[in-house]
Amino acid sequence: VERPYPSRSPRPVHRPSCQNPTGQATAHTTGTQPSLHPTMGSTGKIEEYLKNYKVKDVVSDQQEIFSIPSTSTVEEGLKELATRKILSLPVLDKKTNKYIGIVSISDIVIAICFNPCFSKLGKGADSIEKLTKEDMGEILKKSVLKNPIQDVLGMTEEGKNLWVFQESEEMAKLAEYFAQGVHRALVIREGKGPVFVTQYDIVKFLMSTTKADNSLAIAELMKKTLSDLGHVRKEKKVVSVKDNESALAGFRRLLQWQSFRDWNLAALPVVDSKTGKIVGNLSESDLRGLNEERLLDLLFTVPMFLKTFYGEMRKPVTVEASTTFGEAMNKIIASEVHRLWIVDADSKPIGVFSLSDIISQFTAFSWSHLKALDKMFE
C-alpha cells in the first residue's frame, strides 16, 4: 500500500504490557508524558474540572467491546463496522487469544484509497475518465478487500498505538489524550471485560455534568462564541471537496492534508462547485460497508457515492460563528455527529468545531487545535 505520508514516531501512549480478551491486563505508561502547557484565556478551575472524576464514571454503562479475528478479511471488517455502527475494532489472534491491535476505519480508508491499483488516479479526479475496462478489472483484482484485516493494522499513527487505562484513573488523564485528537481508548475494569471509551462518550458526560455546575468559570465558557474561541478564519478558505469531484479524490485529500491527520478530524465539507456553499459532509465513516461489488463506486462523484450508500447525500450539520460553546456542544450531541461546520451568511464553510475542541477546553491543551486549524485553510 502506498502510504499517503511518511511514517512518524508514535506519540507517548499508555500501552499494556500484556493483554487478553478477559480484561486481565497490566497497564503501564511508556515513553514520556505529554508536556502540559498553560491554557491561554482559561481558568485553573476549568483545567481541574475532570480531576474530580474517574474513568469509570464515563464507562459504567458501556457495553463490552466486539472484536474481529486477525484472519478475517478487510471486507468482513468493513461489514462489521457498518453493522454495529462503530469506527474501530480490536483485532484478536485466536491462536494466542490476545489482542494484537485495533483497526479503525482510518486504517482501512488508507489501505483502500492509496492502494497501487488506483495508481492511474494519483493526479486526481481528471484521470478517472481515462480508465478502461481492463483498468477497472485490474483494480478489482488487486484491491485489499480480500486481504487479512491484520495487514492494515497501523496504517495511521493512532492505529500504531493502543491507549489503555484502568477504570480507577483520573478522567483528566484520559481527556488529555482525547484533547490531542485520540479518538478512543481501552478501559480495563475490575472483574469485568474491557470496554472502549470514545471522545463522544466524554462529551456526553461533560454536557450532563456541566448542566448541573453553577460555577462562574463554566458559565463563562458556555457563553463564549466559536469566533471568540478561535474556530473561525473568515479571511481564508476551508479545505474541502467539490461536489463534482470523485469520492476517491475526496478521501485522498482528507488523508493527505497534514493538519487533518494531526487533529484527526476525519472529514471534509462537500461544497457546490459553482457557489462554494456547503452541501454535504464526506467522512471516513462513509466507507463502512464498502465491498468488492461496490469498490468502483469510489470513482463516482461525492454526491453519487453517498447516495449509493445512504439513498441521499445527508445535509451537513452547521452552526454560525456567533453560536456559543454551550449551544454547539448541545447540537453535536443532539445531532449525534462528531463535528459541526461553521458557515457564514452565504452558507460557505469558514471553520469547524469538533469533539476534540470540546474536550480540549477542559484540559491544558485547549490552545493546541489552533495551530492545526491554521493549516486547515487555504
Going by C-alpha positions, the residue among 316, 317, 322 that lies closest to residue 229 is 322
Instruction: Kindly indicate the confidence band of residue 376, based on its pLDDT and cuts at 50, 70 and 90.
Output: low
Whole-angstrom Cα distance, residue 354 to residue 226?
11
| Helices first, then strands: H and E counts in the chain | 14, 14
Residue bearing cell 497501523: 154
pLDDT at 269 over 60: yes
**Residue 365 buriedness (CB in 10 A; 0-12 / 13-18 / 19+):** buried
pLDDT in tens, 25-60: 333 333 333 333 333 334 446 888 999 899 999 987
pLDDT at 240 exceeding the cut of 70: yes
More confident residue, 166 or 39: 166
Q: How far apart are CA 330 and CA 207, in angstroms?
A: 7
Distance CA 156, CA 215 (A): 40
The dihedral formed by the CA atoms of 57, 337, 45 and 221, expressed in degrees to the nearest 10? -150
- Alpha-carbon dihedral sign for residues 325, 328, 330, 333: negative
Look at domain 46-288+295-365 and name its CATH class.
alpha beta
| DSSP 3-state of 26 | strand
Q: Within 10 A of 238 (CB to CB), how many other CB atoms are there? A: 22
Mean pLDDT of 191-211: 91
Say which amino acid occupies 31.
Answer: G
Please compute the mean of the pLDDT values over residues 64-76 and round it to a whole number: 91
pLDDT value at position 53?
A: 95
Percent of the chain with pLDDT over 90: 43
Grid cell, residue 314, equals 445527508
Reported as a pLDDT band with limits 50, 70 and 90, residue 252 is: confident
pLDDT digits (tens, 9 = 90+) for 300-339: 999 999 998 888 888 999 999 999 999 999 999 999 999 9
- What's the whole-number mean pLDDT along residues 262-280? 85
Any idea where the domains of the chain sit in the sequence? 46-288+295-365
Q: Give helix 247-256 / helix 302-310 axis angle, nearest 10°.
A: 100
- In b/e form, how buried is each residue of 86-102, taking b as 16+ CB within 10 angstroms? bbbbbbbeeeeeebebb
